[in-house]
Amino acid sequence: LGEQTPLLVSSRAILSRRLCVTVNTQLCQNAYMKTQRIIGALWMLFNGVLGILYLWLLLYPIIRFSRVPSSSSYYLGALFCLLYWAGAVAGFFLFRGAWGARKFVTLVAFLIVMATIAGFVALRSLPGMYYIASVFATVSAVFLFLPRHKTVA
């Protein structure tokens, strides 16, 4: 009874190897989910605050002077306000683990960077918050491009 057949030993080794691969894959996916949740929370916080700030900056002239300014900087601010609100909503879905949230957040990050470059070219200077948002969007897009889990050999 103390001896084990080679077939039984090899089946135990295969079973333990499969169990180890399954556990490691789950650990990698849990680490990814943690990273995804952190990035989603940061997108909600950062873009939500910027969206509220730029919405106030857009509404202030309308409330104060009862007219809509007609300038390129006003329309650029409206574009950024919409992008930041889209980023906050995308961050919420990324936090929840939605299926296409990674792609949408990456798309919004790309649009924020492109709008910052276009604003700089058109106006020759922008407030520093635009550049900070662009760097944040670029860094988070790089993290979202990383694979979800490590490949198992």
d(CA 90, CA 107): 10
Distances (CA, A) of 119 to 65, 95, 136, 144: 25, 30, 17, 25
* Predicted pLDDT at 139: 92
* Predicted pLDDT at 148: 63
**Structure-token match 């929370």, residue found:** 41
Crossing angle of the two packed helices 128-145 and 6-65, in degrees rounded to 10: 160
Percent of the chain with pLDDT over 90: 27
Burial (0-12, 13-18, 19+ Cβ within 10 Å), 58: middle
pLDDT tens digits, 10-56: 555 555 555 444 444 454 555 557 788 898 999 999 999 989 998 99
| Average pLDDT along the chain | 79
Q: 34 — phi, psi (to 5°)?
A: -65, -45
Which tokens is 40 given? Answer: 């989603």
Tell me the H-state helices in 66-100: 72-96
Give the 3-state secondary structure of residue 127: coil
pLDDT tens digits, 105-132: 999 999 989 988 988 888 888 888 888 9
Question: pTM of the full predicted structure?
Answer: 0.68
DSSP state of 124: S
Q: Left if phi > 0, otherwise alpha if psi is -120 to 50, otherwise beta: which for 147?
A: beta
Q: 148 — phi, psi (to 5°)?
A: -70, -35
